[in-house]
């Protein structure tokens, strides 16, 4: 778990489960490819690629990333999103009404970075993936 303060709000971001990590990697493959290209602005390429994904795919990505996010509400930590009866490919309810797009984008990025840092190339996260320990 990591803790972040974004736009004056405190967040706790847990790691995604193993299945959710793999699904997120598969859905992000075209975006990661765009970011890894040697261009003047790889972030712009990634945003353009993300925009090309079908809405259901984007919603699934955002939902997978936002499920492990909680925001401090007084002394309690409240889940950032609620699904109620919605499927993973639909837009869930955000449990706070003071969220701006830039804050939402930062939360998605931080969650993906936290959960997938061992999968992503160092050039995308700025971190060196930790080596897996040999069980022998």
Mean pLDDT of 78-86: 80
Establish if 13 belongs to a structural domain: yes
Mean pLDDT of 10-21: 95
Residue bearing the bigger pLDDT, 34 or 112: 112
Predicted local distance difference test score (pLDDT) of residue 133 = 45
User: What is the CB neighbour count within 10 angstroms for residue 52?
Assistant: 11
Establish if 128 belongs to a structural domain: no
Predicted local distance difference test score (pLDDT) of residue 45 = 75
Establish if 130 belongs to a structural domain: no
Strands 81-82 and 69-73 come out as unpaired
Establish if 47 belongs to a structural domain: yes
Establish if 68 belongs to a structural domain: yes
Query: What's the rounded Cα separation, in Å, for the pair 18 and 39?
Result: 32
For residue 116, the enclosing domain spans 2-120
Establish if 103 belongs to a structural domain: yes
User: What is the CB neighbour count within 10 angstroms for residue 64?
Assistant: 23
Average pLDDT score, the chain: 82
Residue bearing the bigger pLDDT, 1 or 92: 1
The partner residues of 70 in beta bridges, in order of sequence, read: 12, 79
pLDDT of residue 49 exceeding 90, the answer is no
Q: State the total domains in the chain.
A: 1
Predicted local distance difference test score (pLDDT) of residue 14 = 97
| Helix axis angle, 101-116 to 18-36, nearest 10° | 110
Mean pLDDT of 95-102: 90
* Contact present, 68 and 53 (Cβ < 8 Å): no
pLDDT of residue 8 exceeding 60, the answer is yes
Confidence of residue 84 (pLDDT cuts 50, 70, 90): low
């Amino acid at each position: 778990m990591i803790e972040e303060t974004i736009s004056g709000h405190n967040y706790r971001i847990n790691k995604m489960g193993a299945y959710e990590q793999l699904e997120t990697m598969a859905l992000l493959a075209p975006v990661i490819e765009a970011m890894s290209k040697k261009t003047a602005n790889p972030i712009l390429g990634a945003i353009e690629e993300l925009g090309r994904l079908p809405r259901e795919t984007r919603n699934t990505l955002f939902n997978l990333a936002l499920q492990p996010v909680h925001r401090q509400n007084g002394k309690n930590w409240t889940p950032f999103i609620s699904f109620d009866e919605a499927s993973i490919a639909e837009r869930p309810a955000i449990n706070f009404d003071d969220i701006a797009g830039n804050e939402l984008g930062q939360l998605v990025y931080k969650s993906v970075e936290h959960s997938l840092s061992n999968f992503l190339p160092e050039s995308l996260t700025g971190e060196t993936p930790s080596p897996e320990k040999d069980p022998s």
